[in-house]
Amino acid sequence: MKRALTCASSDSGGGAGIQADLKTFAALGVYGFCAISAVTAQNSHEVTHVETLSRESFRSQLEAVASDFKVDAVKVGLLGSPANTNELSRFLEERLPGVPAVVDPVMVSAAGHVFLDGETLAALKGLLARALLATPNVPEAESLSGIKISGRSDALKAAERILASGPRNVLVKGGHGSGEASEDVLLGEEAPDGRFFAAPRQESRNTHGTGCSLSSAVAACLALGFPLPEAVSRAKAYVWEAMDAARNLDLGGKGPGPLHHFYRYYGFTKEPR
């Protein structure tokens, strides 16, 4: 079995962060390890508290995994502090050289909570230099590049500018855009002229954790040995299907619901013995 490590925060609502990453790994047949960087108190419509773990606690989790297990891919989400971000940069360089890392630059929650201050954002840009792939959504790509995105050409320009900060490839996700299709743009070593991945745009309440799930799905597919463009294509298809399957997944929350990560495995009709 292939193995992937997620380094991210915990989401008490279960739809994003570590919880979404581990569900995605499992759904795609990859065993998941984790290093929790922060604990968030959140539900479907608000984040009420964030407590960042110490650098020592975060580092201890990383070292515990690396000292005993083989890691085939890494997914990076919200790290919570400059110290944890810099620690992970060091860890990837020293302990997991050559292991593909997918960095999702989580800046703002779906409920509008801003996670990164200026110092943490600066450290994040340093971490991007360790990434095989960075996966910003449109608002994050605009923040990282300083370019307003309103179409394909803008997304390519933003991706090109983000590439200058160090990642080998950039995927600008189009879920925050408009139009009939949600189109993602991949640019970098594996797509020097740019590649576009489109899917019909869904009108759905179940959008919480889509970014986390996409980046962890890409990491899972990389762990399985797929080349990056195919990993992106497979990951986008998985997230689209999990969102579509979540239409009848009502948890009673007031805000956006989660994806149905295990839609392929549900369908039992009998009570367990």
Provide Rg for the chain, Cα atoms.
17
Q: Is residue 273 part of a domain?
A: no
Check if 34 is active-site: no
Q: Nearest 5 degrees, angle CA 182-CA 205-CA 244?
A: 60
Contact 30, 224 (CB under 8 A): yes
The total number of structural domains that make up the chain: 1
151 is an active site residue:
no
Of residues 188, 212, 221, 236, which has the active-site annotation?
212
pTM equals 0.93
136 lies in some domain? yes
> Active-site residue 173, yes or no?
yes
Closest alpha carbon to 95 in 72, 66, 57, 124: 66
CA nearest to 159, candidates 150, 151, 40, 169 = 169
Whether 91 is covered by a domain: the verdict is yes
Alpha-carbon gap, residue 36 to 150, rounded angstroms: 35
Exactly one of 173, 175, 236, 257 is catalytic; name it: 173
Question: Is 225 in the active site?
Answer: no
pLDDT attached to residue 247 = 86
Output DSSP code: residue 69.
-
Active site residue 210: yes
pLDDT given at position 114? 55
- The closest alpha carbon to 171, from 213, 218, 225, 111, belongs to 218
**pLDDT attached to residue 27:** 97
Domain region containing 212: 3-248
Is there a domain that residue 233 lies in? yes
CATH of residue 200: 3.40.1190.20
Q: What is the pLDDT of residue 124?
A: 87
Residue 90 belongs to a domain: yes
Residue 211 annotated in active site: yes
Distance CA 130, CA 252 (A): 40
Q: Give the Cα separation of 227 and 150 in Å (integer).
A: 29
The answer to whether residue 258 sits within a structural domain is no
- What is the per-residue pLDDT for 143? 86
Q: Please report whether residue 105 resides in a domain.
A: yes
Q: Which residues contact 239 (CB under 8 A, 6 or more apart)?
A: 210, 213, 214, 217, 259
Residue of 23, 77, 210, 236 with catalytic role: 210
Q: Out of 209, 221, 236, 257, which one is annotated catalytic?
A: 209
What local confidence, expressed as pLDDT, does residue 222 receive?
98
**What's the confidence (pLDDT) of residue 109?**
52
pLDDT in single tens digits along all 273 residues of the chain: 999 999 999 999 999 999 999 999 999 999 999 999 999 999 988 889 999 999 999 999 999 999 999 999 999 999 989 999 999 999 999 999 999 999 999 775 555 555 566 777 788 888 999 999 999 999 889 988 999 998 899 999 999 999 998 999 999 998 766 667 789 999 999 999 999 999 998 888 888 999 999 999 999 999 999 999 999 999 999 999 999 999 878 888 888 899 999 998 886 555 544
Tokens 């620690």 sit on residue: 87
Examine residue 263 and state whether it is found in any structural domain, yes or no.
no
Q: What is the pLDDT of residue 178?
A: 64
